[in-house]
Structure formats: C-alpha cells, structure tokens
Structure 1
Amino acid sequence: MKLTQYYTLIVCVITISCSGVQNSTTDESKYQKNASFSLIYKIKPEGYIRKLFLKVKVPYSIKDRQWVKSMAFSTQPDSVVLKNDLNYAYFHFDSVDEAFKLKIDCEITIYQQIKEIDTSQLAAAYTPENLSAEKYIESDCPEIQDLAAGLKQANNVETVMKTYSYVKEKLTYYTDYGPDTVGARRALKKGYGDCSEYCDLFVALLRANHIPAKSIHGYTMEMTTTGKHTWAEVFLPKNGWVMMDPTTSHGHVTNEDNTYTIAQRNKYIIMSQQRHDPAISKNSDYYIHYQKGSWDSKVNIHESYNSYLHS
C-alpha cells in the first residue's frame, strides 16, 4: 500500500496507514503559512494600585509546528521565560491609576509537516507525561478504561482512528453549559462539551490504551478571524507526533481500504503543550496580581486577540 501526504496552500491532507506516512512533494512552501498575530490586554484600574504584576502566555518556536520570527511588545517585559512547554512574558507596573493597553505583535510561520522518525525517538514519547492520568484527563477511571478496551483495534493507527470517530460521534458541541472545564469522565457521561471536552475525552481514551497523546492549547485562524481552541497530538511509531482535532467542524478523517486520510487546515498557533497550568484559568492566557492602594481598589482586564493569515 502506497502512502502519501498531500498539501495545498491552506488545506493539509495526510494519508496514514499502519506502515506510516510519506510526503508527496519536496516543496517546503506547501507545508507552511505565514500569520500576523496579536495579543491585546486592556488594563483598567479602579482606584490607586501600588504595584501590578502580570504574567502573559506568549507563543514560541516548535520544530515542525511553528516558527515565531518576531515578537514586539508595546511595553518591554521584565523577562520572557520558556519552561516546561510554557512561555511567559513577565511585567510589573508601579503606581497605576489610569487605564493602559499592552499589545504583543507576533509574526509566525505555521507548519503542517509530518516526517518519518527513527526508533530513537520512541522513548521520549512513552513517558508518564504522555501516558498517565491527570486533571481533566481521567484515563484511569473505570468508565474510560472499559470504553477504551472496546475501542482497541489490531494496531495503534486503527485504534487512534476508531477513537477519533467515536469522540466526534459521541459528543455534541455545546458551549453554554457553564464556564468550568468538566474533564473527560464528565464529558463522557453528559455527552456534550466544547473543544476542551472533545480533546480531554480523546486523549484520555488513547492513554488508557497506552498510546501517547497530549492536549494542545492555542488559537485557530480563518484568514481574518481568530479563536481560542484546544486540540490533540498523538504519537505514531513511524511518524512521531501527529496533530488531530476531534472537535466538530475542524478535523476530517476518511477511510478507504484501511488507508486513513486526515484533512486539516494549516491554521493553528500553539500556546501550550500542557493540559493544565494551575496559574492560568481555562478562559485566559494571563495571570494578574496587584497591591491595592486602598481597600476598595481593583483592576479590570480585558483580553483580546486578532490575526491575519497571509494568502
């Protein structure tokens, strides 16, 4: 069976079977898109603030995924620190008594390329971080374990595709159930969720079958619109980490004679390769702390973002 990987300038189509993936072209430009991406924070104090500390998550370069070519700050940070797949810019402001805006402008090249790997990379994927249960990804709970056993197929590729189809069919996309993340177990029980729940259930089921998988947080772009999103990456022995998006209307998989074709748009900006960051809530990419000038002082912060996906 011949395996190929097809690309257009925007839509990436990856053909996978048990024996791996091959690229159908050597033209590197077919695998990438350039994007202008901005994070905007409007900070409005009520009363006098002695000191304000702000930690903001920012994108970073990741091999075969994205290259952050430049990053410009309207106010220079004290530092930018990349640690444990999280990249933060740290700011502090003294004597804050009026509103101001912080803007971070990035130029990013986004890649969608899968390459064959050698066996030396296997050990780095089969680690507790990619296989164990964690908050929101309850791969060790009995309901998840029993379901995963029923989805297990003859090999990892078929198990991944079977699980992917199950999650897309099982869950209904619904965002109005409340602001809190519910995790894989409750998403399975309730049968609905947003992108976080789709991803949590998908990753939990794969980990329960001892297939390395991880949750990715970032943004998706459609030419001039941007939205926060969560998707997954799955480790396949011949191809390494493969991006898959089980949320309704994003990824699309077809199967013909046990050859699976994954179609995904080249529109994903990665902010984090971790599911849970205790310092950051589900709906924000920042952490703020401040010292009040009086008992009733407080700070309001509005987070927004925009982008342009170059043709």
Structure 2
Amino acid sequence: MKKLAVIAVLILLAMPSNGLFNFHRKAIHFNVSHEKYVPPFLFWRWNERNVVIEYFDIVRNNDSIAANITAYLAIPPSLPNQEIMDIEFEPEPDKILEDEYGQKVACYKLKLAPNESLEIGWRIQAKIYNIRYILLPFLVGDYIPPDIKEKYTRDGEMYKIHDPYIQQIVRSIAANETNLLIKAIKLHDYVIRHLSYALDNKWDDAPTVLKRGNGSCSEYCFAYIALCRAAGIPAKYKGGTYLAELPPYNDSIFHRMVLIYLPNYGWIPVDMTFDEWIFHHYAFGFHSNRFFALMTGGGASQYLNWTYNSHYESVAKLDIDSTARWLEWK
C-alpha cells in the first residue's frame, strides 16, 4: 500500500498547480448507480484548447479494374476530455452508422476507375482539455454493469486472453489481488517492464508481442487489454491524433491508448507508451490536450475492423493515405 500511496502522490504532483488549485477550474462529478459511495470528485480538467482539425483520406485505385468501394470514416465522439462543437463532411456521407461499441461512422459508397483517386474527410471544431483522474484504491467500487463486463472482457483475435502465456502472466502478477485499480497498476507495470517501443507497420496479437518484447502503441494496447480482460477488468481502446508540433501540423502516424473501466470512476485513460518515455505512472489516469480522439472501440468493429480512423472494403487493390491536419490549437 505504501507503493500505491507514493504513486497517488506522484500523479497529483504531476498535475499543474493551476489545474488543482485554480478556483476557476471546475471539478467534474457524476453519479454511478449500484455504488455504496460516490466520491465528490472524479477528475480535474484544465487548460482548455479550441482546436480545428481536418481529417482526410486520399483513396487511389491501383488496380486494372474499376473499384466498387465501401468506406467507413470514424466520427469523433464527445468525451470527458473533448467536446465536439461542429463537424463538416466533404463530401457528405451516404449514411451515418453505429457499430456494436457505440462508435459512429460515416459510410460512403464509392466507384473509382483504374488509377483514379479521390479525397474524403471532415473538418471539425472542438474543445480539448488536459484531464487527470484522482485514482485512489479505496474509492474504487465492485459493481461492473453486466453489459460492460460482457462486452469488454470477451476475447478477440488480437487479445487471445485464454492463451496459456496470457493466463500465466495474470496468475503470477494479479491472482491474489481483489482491488481492480491495484490489479490494473500491477499489470500496467508488467507491460512497461517487458516491452519497448518499436514500429514495424504491422500488428501482432498480445501473446506474440509480450513474448517478443517490443511493439507499437497499438500492440502495447492489445497486450494490456488482453491482460486486463483476462484478469476481469473491462478494457477497450481509444484511437486518435497527437499534436507533436504547433499548428499547422500534419499527423500521418496516429496513436492508440487504453481505457479501463473502474467502478465509481468509469472509463480511465492509460497510455503506456507515454509512461515509458516520461515516468512510470504519468499517463495512468491522465490525458493530454494535445491528443484528439477519433474513436473508441473494443475490438474488431463491424465497420472499422481493428483500425482507429477509417476502413475500406473492395475487391480491387487500393492505396489509402490518411492524414489529420491540425489547423488551430489555441
């Protein structure tokens, strides 16, 4: 418990003082049913930024035949750390759909001649914030809504939670722990200790990544989600774009992080690649106002599959160039 107390203090100290003590900043709270106790504050938001972001895909038909294409573009959601003010599509989608995880997508029916290309996308105005959850083990409840537990602890092809290697890690790290927050921290620490960042333009499943010892941000997510789900902690991911330089800035790499569900708190951000680069628990329960979420998902979505920006279906050979362009951040 001493170690966890130190972690809690470090997390609080990592938050800028104007976020914690500025009386013009508001503590956000909400009620969660089935809980014996609802804490008076759950997270702090500060440093509001007004942003204008464009997302666009350049779609090329590299085949010798005409391409009939169904395209799905993720529609950014409003979340505790971001508020969507306005969105304009170019061109207008044929329809708006919603997948099994509640993520909305813009659906396009396209036809391209051989070597023809076109651009589809959107322009958005939003507010984004730094956010820091005040995470304390004794504030975490026990009740997980059945729909969340069923949907976000199930297996998936990139997780393989029943793999003996995944099961062995969970038994060795968290088998005797009952508090979900402490269990999540222990599994987080295991991933940080055993993985290093590597980008190779492909995604492997969680057991492969953990055995290999390195992975991209998506593979870190698959590994941590697999361990959390195997340990009974609901987990999903959030994908989006990160502002690495002041606008105008084009992002073609994108980023993915984990969200874990803690009773009394809801969905908590955990970004392990940032924890590896900064310090061990900096991004456990923290979200920067330089990150803008394009979507949230739990696995192979019926529309987005395992991607976190767009997905295309066609028998023809396509080339897709995706870019998020930050125009304003002020």
DSSP-derived class of the 2:144 partner? helix
Contact 1:221 1:309 in 2 (8 A): no
Alignment of 1:125-164 (within 5 A): 126-152=148-174, 153=177, 155-164=179-188
Aligned residue among 44, 48, 58 for 1:42: 58
User: Relative to total residues, which structure has the larger helix share, 1 or 2?
Assistant: 2
Contact 2:237 2:297 in 1 (8 A): yes
- In structure 2, relative to structure 1, the CA distance for the partners of 1:240 and 1:165 (3 Å cut) is same
- What letter is aligned with 1:73? F
Deviation at 1:50, TM superposition (A): 5.9
Alignment match, 1:246: 272
1:188 equivalent in alignment to 2:207:
no
Which whole-Å CA distance do the structure 2 matches of 1:285 and 1:273 have between them?
13
Deviation at 1:265, TM superposition (A): 1.8
- In structure 2, relative to structure 1, the CA distance for the partners of 1:25 and 1:132 (3 Å cut) is closer
Which whole-Å CA distance do the structure 2 matches of 1:49 and 1:191 have between them?
42
- In structure 2, relative to structure 1, the CA distance for the partners of 1:187 and 1:202 (3 Å cut) is same
Count of aligned residue pairs for this structure pair: 292
Contact 2:268 2:285 in 1 (8 A): no
Alignment match, 1:265: 288
DSSP-derived class of the 1:217 partner? strand
Query: Per-residue CA shift, 1:174-212, capped at 9, x if unaligned?
Result: 113xx4321111111111111111111111111121111
1:68 equivalent in alignment to 2:68:
no
Deviation at 1:242, TM superposition (A): 0.6
Alignment match, 1:15: none
DSSP-derived class of the 1:137 partner? coil
Which whole-Å CA distance do the structure 2 matches of 1:173 and 1:137 have between them?
18
- In structure 2, relative to structure 1, the CA distance for the partners of 1:63 and 1:272 (3 Å cut) is closer
Identity of aligned residues (%): 18
Alignment match, 2:258: 232
Aligned residue among 210, 216, 224 for 1:202: 224
Which whole-Å CA distance do the structure 1 matches of 2:165 and 2:134 have between them?
35
Which whole-Å CA distance do the structure 2 matches of 1:76 and 1:99 have between them?
17
Deviation at 1:120, TM superposition (A): 11
Query: Per-residue CA shift, 1:26-65, capped at 9, x if unaligned?
Result: 8x6x164332221222234468976743423222333424
Which whole-Å CA distance do the structure 1 matches of 2:153 and 2:87 have between them?
34
Which whole-Å CA distance do the structure 2 matches of 1:197 and 1:123 have between them?
27
Alignment match, 1:79: 95
Deviation at 1:158, TM superposition (A): 1.5
Aligned residue among 73, 80, 89 for 2:106: 89
The unaligned stretches of length 5 or more in structure 2 are 21-36
In terms of mean alpha carbon deviation, does 201-210 or 222-231 score higher?
A: 222-231
Which whole-Å CA distance do the structure 1 matches of 2:38 and 2:47 have between them?
18
Contact 1:245 1:251 in 2 (8 A): no
DSSP-derived class of the 1:215 partner? strand
Alignment match, 1:108: 126
Deviation at 1:244, TM superposition (A): 0.5
RMSD of equivalent CA atoms: 4.0
Contact 2:240 2:254 in 1 (8 A): yes
Deviation at 1:233, TM superposition (A): 0.8
- In structure 2, relative to structure 1, the CA distance for the partners of 1:36 and 1:54 (3 Å cut) is farther
Q: TM (normalized to structure 2)? A: 0.72
Alignment match, 2:31: none
Q: TM (normalized to structure 1)? A: 0.76
DSSP-derived class of the 1:67 partner? strand
DSSP-derived class of the 1:276 partner? coil
Query: Per-residue CA shift, 1:94-127, capped at 9, x if unaligned?
Result: 6757543334111122353659999797315652
Deviation at 1:166, TM superposition (A): 1.4
Contact 1:33 1:309 in 2 (8 A): no
- What letter is aligned with 1:105? R
1:215 equivalent in alignment to 2:233:
no
Query: Per-residue CA shift, 1:107-155, capped at 9, x if unaligned?
Result: 1223536599997973156522111222111222111111112211352
Deviation at 1:269, TM superposition (A): 1.2
Which whole-Å CA distance do the structure 2 matches of 1:211 and 1:282 have between them?
20
DSSP-derived class of the 2:182 partner? helix
Deviation at 1:287, TM superposition (A): 0.8
- In structure 2, relative to structure 1, the CA distance for the partners of 1:93 and 1:128 (3 Å cut) is closer
Contact 1:110 1:269 in 2 (8 A): no
Aligned residue among 50, 53, 64 for 2:69: 53
